Structure 1
Amino acid sequence: MTPPLPRFHRLPPERRTEILAVARQHFAEHGPQHASYNKIIEAAGISKTAAYHYFDGREDLLSAVLDDVLARLLDALGPEPSASDADAFWAGLESGTDALTAHLLGHPDDLALAEVAAAHEGGAAWRGWFTALVDEGQRLGVIRTDLDRELLVGATTAVVGAADLWALSALAAGRQPDRAQVWTLLAGLWGTKAADRAH
């Protein structure tokens, strides 16, 4: 997928936001593979001629939407982790996870596209946040250093992603998820010092 054409970026920010919001809704409702490009541009009030000045086609529009969703998710999660000590590390992780869960609950289109957005372009941006998390945890002595760093990053990313989906499912069913279970799961992955904090 290629990025939108330069003319799209020259549109006023409000208009770009509006186009992406309409497209995000369609891709979320019908799925990234099935949403109709023609219906999206019609709903966004763009002629076919103008649409091809902004995007090479449907895949470029999808790429722009996924980039936007990922930026919104990372915005909700907060900046890359930086903490003065282990307690601050855990507090930052908890608040970031809570903020992301709240964002997904309040933005069902982002929720519907979150998994695809996180994997977009090989998942580099999403993985970058979790790489920073593991690096910071290792620096503070919270996360073990006896395992391969890439393995820990991949496993951490997968566990947090699964935990977010689990928490949202519980909330949708009217149950409050027990966050301690997530910390226990991460502590088991990260090692003894993390396990001390989880209990």
Structure 2
Amino acid sequence: MPLPRFDRLPAERREHILGVARRHFAEHGAEGASYNKIIEAAGVSKTAAYHYFDGREDLLTAVLDGVLVRLLDALGPWEPASDEEDFAARFAAGSAALAAHLGGHPEDLALADTAIGRTADGPWLDWFGALVADGRRLGLVRTDVDASLMVAATAAVVRAADAWALARMATGTDPGDTPGQLWALLRGLWGAAPTGQEPRHAL
């Protein structure tokens, strides 16, 4: 996380530095971007930079945390569904909103899988926790598997499908029927297979 002095900068200045860093990490990769080139492009001296961040990894973490916040904002909170059809519709709506955000924000698109992959717990898994709990309430998700394992497995399946689709989107390749394939994978994982309408436009 940024050091306290960074948080005391004006919001516009903080966003400028993080925006420059995000562009560099998106273009050169989380492991390939140069810390010195980032701070130079942001107009920050080396001395000042080490008052703001402990180093490159600290800056990368701040950037990826921002990406994750925007992904969750696009998804929106999981709201309890009224029935099976509503459950599928809510999942589709969240996935469509996420896909739309990524389609319009190429830097977030480039860093999305890295941001998700660095999250062992926290808000990202909380979203899937709410999803699985709601699915169990409706009888759509099996209950013979530990809840935390089911949440982790569901998040992993979605991440795998997202990474596949994101890689294709990044190269301009049509990801095809990702929604149908993802829904089929989740139905198999959950066991108590939903029979309602499959989501459309999911990532």
- Which residues of 2 match residues 8-157 of structure 1 at below 5 A? 8-157=6-155
CA contact under 8 A between 1:77 and 1:97: conserved in structure 2?
yes
CA contact under 8 A between 1:20 and 1:65: conserved in structure 2?
yes
C-alpha RMSD of the superposition:
2.0
Seen in structure 2, the aligned counterparts of structure 1 residues 125 and 33 have a Cα distance that, compared at 3 Å, is same
CA contact under 8 A between 2:88 and 2:197: conserved in structure 1?
no
Partner residue of 1:197? 196
Partner residue of 1:181? 181
2:157 to 156, 159, 169: 159
Deviations along 1:3-51, one digit per CA (max 9) or x if unpaired, are 1011211222222222111101111222222211111011111112221
Query: Residue type of the partner of 1:13?
Result: A
Partner secondary structure for residue 196 of structure 2: helix
Q: What stretches of structure 1 of length at least 5 have no aligned partner?
A: none
Q: Percent identity?
A: 60
CA contact under 8 A between 1:4 and 1:61: conserved in structure 2?
yes
Seen in structure 2, the aligned counterparts of structure 1 residues 174 and 184 have a Cα distance that, compared at 3 Å, is closer
Please give the alpha-carbon distance, in whole angstroms, between the structure 2 residues aligned to 1:84 and 1:6: 45
Deviations along 1:83-139, one digit per CA (max 9) or x if unpaired, are 233222211110111111122222222122212211325243322211111111112
Partner secondary structure for residue 45 of structure 1: coil
Q: Displacement, 1:159?
A: 1.5
Query: Residue type of the partner of 2:38?
Result: I
Please give the alpha-carbon distance, in whole angstroms, between the structure 2 residues aligned to 1:178 and 1:30: 27
CA contact under 8 A between 2:68 and 2:116: conserved in structure 1?
yes
The structure with higher relative contact order (CA 8 Å, sep 6+) is 2
TM-score (norm 2): 0.86
Please give the alpha-carbon distance, in whole angstroms, between the structure 2 residues aligned to 1:75 and 1:38: 31
TM-score (norm 1): 0.88
Greater fraction of residues in helix: 1
